[in-house]
Amino acid sequence: MLIFGIILIDFVIKGDISMERMKTFLKYALWVIGFFILSELLINVGLNVQYKPIERKDNIEQVQFYQAEATLINGRMRGVIKNDGEEDISNKYVEVDFYSERDVYLGKKYIKVNELSKEDIQSIEILFELNEVGYYEVKIVDQKDDLPEIKEVIQEMLTPELVVKTIIVCCFIL
């Protein structure tokens, strides 16, 4: 798009622009925009189809995940921690252990529980890079183990970020 803008400005400055050339330029610009929109749609659909739900194998009702899914190489989990008990919850961790479908331990992730009063809710999100996650188990513990945690993805690529990165790449290609 930047290239098209530079070409258009060049034609306007030189005064060498005709209606026919302007129509051709507009057609090319529309084709590029259409291709960009179509490729964004296909990429987003293709990525989201790859996620499959992963199973949970515990009975802790204080931690509820409304989205727990993974691909062959990464995954995402979103949920809430609810304090249904009579006492406040503080200085605790939610430990999430990940396993493959063949019961091979893949790793764990700790989430710090904020000061939760009675009936309080804390949102949680885990974005991780693990291969072939089949199921997970959740525990509430008082302290972290000394074992290393899994690598967490800082953030999921969202649509605006993908658009900006695609535009930058296209500018360097053209």
Phi first, then psi, for residue 5 (nearest 5°) are -65, -40
pTM: 0.66
Instruction: Give the mean pLDDT of the chain.
Output: 81
E strand or H helix that includes residue 68: strand 63-70
Q: What is the mean predicted confidence (pLDDT) over 6-35?
A: 74
C-alpha to C-alpha distance for 106 and 14, rounded to whole angstroms: 64
For the chain, percent of residues with pLDDT exceeding 70 = 79
Instruction: Tell me the per-residue pLDDT of 22-44, one tens digit each, with 9 for 90 and over.
Output: 788 788 888 888 888 888 888 87
Which pLDDT does position 1 carry in this prediction?
54
Which pLDDT does position 137 carry in this prediction?
94
Select from 2.30.30.110, 3.40.50.360, 2.60.40.10, 1.50.10.10 the CATH code of 53-141.
2.60.40.10
Asked whether residue 116 carries a pLDDT value surpassing 90, the answer given is no
Which pLDDT does position 160 carry in this prediction?
66
Which pLDDT does position 95 carry in this prediction?
92
Q: Which residues contact 150 (CB under 8 A, 6 or more apart)?
A: 98, 106, 107, 108, 109, 128, 129, 130
Query: What are the residue ranges spanned by the domains of the chain?
Result: 2-49, 53-141
Q: What is the mean predicted confidence (pLDDT) over 102-108?
A: 91
C-alpha to C-alpha distance for 128 and 108, rounded to whole angstroms: 10
Q: What is the mean predicted confidence (pLDDT) over 99-117?
A: 89
C-alpha to C-alpha distance for 113 and 130, rounded to whole angstroms: 23
